[in-house]
Structure 1
């Protein structure tokens, strides 16, 4: 499966590079935790894949061996989304592996940047409880949503932030999400970001984190990224590292 996806991506990269000469470069929701407000172009598939390793306290860790965010642009204001993740979890002496519940969803544009008004979109997902491996199945369908906003500071720098909430299918208590990031373009191909983000759960201590990363635009349709972060709070993971590759193509 991975081999077929990579072959397809490189086929598009080297055999058919011309169809987006007049389009803006790919805009991705990775590698930072702040989702971008931009919609996948109409009739384009965009696939954002990644690998990450997260080290928790004591003898706990999680490896997302492969994650895929698949996006399809319906029109200039709306896209469909599908998220799949293959996970390896190590909790003290217990080890699990399998597929997390699949998430289906959308992103819709709400506002276009105008002065102090940022580019704004709404993202919503629904977790399918039984569409998962046995170790990761949950009891209920569960929603996620976030508003994603972005300001243009100048032609090289932007300021973005998200506010939202998510559930886990096990509890009725939501986890509130915030993110704040600034991105900077060193060149037309190389960019970087710094980010603060966190999770706030009712009756639990807050989980605040920091991360940073680099992106490299191979072509207007293909991007590579690397990132890493640390936890600030007592209950936060110690650190994480991640690699990713994203591409898009028109049907």
Structure 2
């Protein structure tokens, strides 16, 4: 099966290309560095020729509200148009658990816009709403550090998942039938503040219920998966121990 991974040179994409290739598929990494630019459309028609499945794991280079919205909407429109021409049968997109509960965040509004384009588009789809990655937690600490050096993060629950579990699930979805919207998360729920303390032990963490999450107000259900979600097998404590 020919599967094109948009964003296939990044953290998730490169691992997914390797896994699908090892399974015997023709997995193609599509990115500006390989001659495919989803913002301009350059290279899309060529790379999608004969493709059955497209997996979009891209992320915006800027998180400024308008820039991230422009990135996801332009990229997704170009992908879907090229897929319709090429006869692609399945579009898989990686999104975020709780995106529609956090529409006061500019980034989440951009992800919602991306999802709506896919839902209304011509290609049967699977939108994978993934919880935050283990590997992203140190970056949360960095982004939440104030001028006084204190790391102010919310004690609200989230349900982080290992990148390798995300890749395992995406590989399964890419080789299966379109499933609509699905959720995946890690096996453990814990406070964001507790996760930061564990992953970044030198951080001066302040538990702040008003901190929110990247501009969004959150509660204990905003960043956790609902009933029926697929749960990864890797545990956050093991990630921290390594």
* TM-score normalised by L of structure 1: 0.26
Give the strand-richer structure, 1 or 2. Answer: 1
* TM-score normalised by L of structure 2: 0.27
Give the helix-richer structure, 1 or 2. Answer: 2
